[in-house]
Amino acid sequence: MSARRYTVISADCHAGADLLDYRPYLEKRHHDDFDAWAATYVNPYEDLLADTADRNWNSARRLTELEADGIVAEVVYPNTIPPFFPSASLMAPAPTREEYEQRWAGLRAHNRWLADFCAEAPGRRAGVAQILLNDPDEAVREIRRTRQAGLTGGILLPGTPPGSGLPELYSQTYDPIWAVCDELGVPVNHHGGSASPPLGEEPAARAVFMVETTWFSHRALWHLIFGGAFRRHPGLTLVLTEQGSGWIPGVLDMLDYYHGRLVAAAARTATAESKFGAGLAAAMGRGPSEVWRDNCFVGASFMRPHEVPLRDRIGLDKIMWGCDYPHDEGTTPYSREGLRIAYAGLPPEEIAAMAGGNAARVYGFDLGLLDPIAAGVGPTVEEIARPLDDVPQGATSPAFARGGSVRVW
């Protein structure tokens, strides 16, 4: 926070190279295959075909638009199609054995591009590296390489939905990944939409996807907790992004309940339920709420007004606001209004933490660098303190869908 202006860091933005611009970042042995793939590839996403698609890779435009929106730094998740993928890597199914080598080559190309992209705005972009889970040792090597290359946003943890053919996230198979992230202080980010099984393209399937996709993303939390990842690697940091935040207190209550019930049942060897809790206390260590308190954060994106009263139960030091730039559902260019609709009336120190301070701590942003920039472009304390009476006419973000007394068109 700079004097009377907030230092806003978006914990949820997206970027990627234009399709053909990934070629120089591929190893030369993949160039011919890439040329053949790119020549016939049809992009499935309208926003990557629109004249605004360059927001993903045009560094100068991006800085200008984010600063105009009051934002001085960002955590950068992937968005465009990496080489050899059928769709964005967030949504692509786990690769088959035949696809594995090329998919890895494509993700490495994206990671190399992202390191260069972040270097164009020193200290203002924390790039999130991509990995695959098929070979944990290979993933560890890429985590070490990308951290050394300057990607400070951590890693994007792929989902392991039913039918993926991969071990579930609670499996100790992935311990080498958790170990290197703990060692290097690399956050493990699990983004909404990255863990759902394929459901098809029928209208009902798309509706079911919208209902279920956040639940499938939430699964990473209880998989890692019950799997004991945080006991074995106590410095491990998990960030759950673009999954909302209002669900967290209820889910933690539920997890605490099952943890207590199963641990107690394990001590009663004569009961049928005892086998479900056998070994759980030793494997987990601390209870779920304690793990959340010590190891977990939420990239709440455009926090909704109904979630804000839960902030103390979620943890004021756990919440990181995000604008979801450049997506249509994001708050840009109305992020000031998005902050107002959620946070107007709150103590400035609470707003400062959720709007930027927590993200600076998790991802290592230097506030000494960012505060002077925010002094010129950040939203003022007085501005965010004013309740939002009217939704901006051009706003498309769900952040504005419900706002209590706010008039919604």
Q: Among residues 348, 367, 343, which one has the least CA distance to residue 357? A: 367
pLDDT at residue 405 is higher than 50:
no
Could you tell me the pTM of the whole model? Answer: 0.95
CA–CA distances in Å: residue 38 to residues 23, 35, 45: 10, 5, 15
Beta bridge partners of 272: none
Hey, what CATH topology would domain 8-400 get?
TIM Barrel (3.20.20)
State yes or no: pLDDT of 295 exceeds 80: yes
Tell me the domain boundaries of the chain.
Answer: 8-400
Q: Quick one: 137 exposed, middle or buried, by C-beta within 10 A (0-12, 13-18, 19+)?
A: exposed
User: Which residue is associated with the tokens 């756990």?
Assistant: 318
Token representation of residue 397? 């973000």
What percent of the chain lies above the pLDDT cut of 70? 97
The pLDDT value given to residue 404: 42
- Sequence letter at residue 275: K
Question: pLDDT by residue (tens digit) across 144-198?
Answer: 999 999 999 999 999 999 889 999 999 999 999 999 999 999 999 999 988 998 8
